[in-house]
């Protein structure tokens, strides 16, 4: 009887355990099936353009002026939609890629990735492929003055086959017209520029780079400080630091407010205090080379953009399964709404 009782008890435990496992699997499947914001977005006239993911499928949406949500493009499974941008009154462009490559840092075969740049005409409902390339395209920026895109990527090539064996990390900036004319502006060893911004006349690019980017070495990379640089498009080899050259606190995000001749950048407020880092945005006057007030967001953010006196950015939190949850925010730079920071809802088509 005792053995029989033990067997019955053990059987009940097995059934309960199996039930919990199945429930967990079903729960995770349900969670994965729910569309979630990937953190990729753009803003035009306060209309969000953003990417949602569900069941390993990413979809590009546009929120209209009346609040309605329009589905623009659905990628094939396991392909990523990155850096969506407005490129005309009724056009949006974006990257479609299978990258980044999965490998330990320093061993990624970026040249084996494939990346396309596509443009979708919202009014005509037509899709155009502007570029098909090998390599990992990471960012797009629209130059309104020249009406072409600025492209950033790692080991990007439109010619030939991949080189045999591993090649060291290198990135570059390019121009890309809508009819597919693709030209390199400038290349970089070991680093990729971040937070790309362009002036209204299309003559200058601003970007974040470590200050050893022109002469990088394994030793220098541990001591380098991320600063903001200016590059003239017609003289790309002449890079000028525009943030404080002697400040050793790194800058991780920024936006350019050209009319005011100011930057708004994210930096570490307590860098030298030996505590958990406190991130915030700080005003910087380009004329006087002086920092001003901070915004008191007091959290790290990514993908900063400005539009009509608003600062937009994303924040991330880590879930138990090590995946990230992205949320989109806007901050009232004029501080006249009564709510300085507002979380924006991004959702799939109803």
In this structure, the strands spanning 47-54 and 36-44 are antiparallel
Question: How much of the chain, in percent, has pLDDT values that exceed 70?
Answer: 89
**Model pLDDT, residue 350:** 57
Helix ranges (H only) for 101-238 are 220-223
- Confidence class for position 347, pLDDT limits 50, 70, 90: confident
Q: Which residues contact 273 (CB under 8 A, 6 or more apart)?
A: none
Q: What is the mean pLDDT of residues 34-54?
A: 94
**Model pLDDT, residue 163:** 84
**Model pLDDT, residue 141:** 98
**Model pLDDT, residue 66:** 76
**Model pLDDT, residue 319:** 82
Q: Which residues contact 121 (CB under 8 A, 6 or more apart)?
A: 90, 91, 127, 128
Predicted TM-score of the model (pTM): 0.88
Q: Which residues contact 283 (CB under 8 A, 6 or more apart)?
A: 262, 263, 264, 291, 292, 293, 294
pLDDT score of 327 more than 50: yes
Minimal CA–CA distance to 29: which of 53, 55, 51? 55
122 and 62 Cβ atoms separated by less than 8 Å: yes
Minimal CA–CA distance to 38: which of 75, 4, 80? 80
The mean pLDDT value of the chain amounts to 89
Q: Which residue has the higher pLDDT, 106 or 267?
A: 267
Q: Which residue has the higher pLDDT, 171 or 30?
A: 171
pLDDT score of 322 more than 90: no
pLDDT score of 272 more than 90: no
pLDDT in tens, 220-251: 999 999 999 999 999 999 999 999 999 999 99
Q: What is the mean pLDDT of residues 107-118?
A: 92
pLDDT score of 20 more than 60: no
**Model pLDDT, residue 105:** 76
Q: Which residue has the higher pLDDT, 185 or 350?
A: 185
- Confidence class for position 108, pLDDT limits 50, 70, 90: confident
C-alpha 91/C-alpha 311 separation (Å) is: 23
């Amino acid at each position: 009887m005792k053995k029989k009782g033990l067997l019955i008890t053990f059987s009940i435990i097995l059934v309960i355990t199996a039930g919990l496992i199945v429930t967990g699997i079903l729960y995770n499947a349900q969670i994965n099936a729910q569309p979630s914001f990937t953190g990729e977005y753009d803003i035009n006239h306060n209309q969000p353009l953003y990417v949602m993911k569900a069941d390993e499928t990413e979809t590009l949406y546009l929120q209209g002026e009346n609040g309605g949500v329009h589905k623009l493009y659905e990628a094939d499974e396991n392909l990523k939609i990155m850096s969506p941008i407005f490129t005309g009154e009724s056009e949006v462009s974006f990257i479609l890629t299978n990258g980044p490559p999965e490998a330990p840092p320093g061993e990624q075969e970026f040249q084996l990735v494939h990346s396309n740049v596509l443009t979708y005409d919202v009014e005509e409902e037509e899709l155009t492929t502007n570029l098909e390339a090998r390599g990992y395209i990471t960012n797009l920026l629209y130059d309104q003055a020249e009406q072409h895109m600025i492209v950033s990527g790692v080991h990007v090539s439109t010619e030939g086959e991949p080189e045999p064996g591993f090649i060291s990390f290198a990135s570059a900036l390019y121009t890309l017209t809508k009819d597919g004319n693709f030209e390199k502006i400038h290349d970089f060893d070991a680093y990729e520029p971040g937070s790309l911004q362009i002036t209204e006349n299309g003559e200058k690019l601003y970007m974040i780079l470590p200050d050893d980017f022109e002469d990088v070495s394994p030793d220098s990379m541990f001591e380098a400080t991320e600063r903001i640089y200016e590059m003239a498009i017609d003289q790309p080899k002449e890079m000028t630091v525009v943030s404080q050259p002697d400040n050793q606190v790194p800058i991780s995000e920024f936006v350019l407010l050209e009319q005011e001749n100011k930057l708004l950048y994210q930096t570490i407020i307590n860098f030298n205090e030996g505590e958990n880092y406190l991130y915030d945005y700080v005003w910087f006057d380009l004329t006087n080379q002086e920092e001003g007030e901070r915004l008191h967001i007091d959290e790290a953010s990514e993908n900063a953009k400005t539009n009509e006196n608003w600062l937009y950015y994303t924040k991330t939190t880590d879930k138990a399964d090590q995946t990230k949850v992205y949320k989109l925010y806007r901050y009232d730079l004029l501080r006249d709404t009564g709510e300085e920071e507002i979380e924006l809802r991004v959702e799939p088509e109803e």
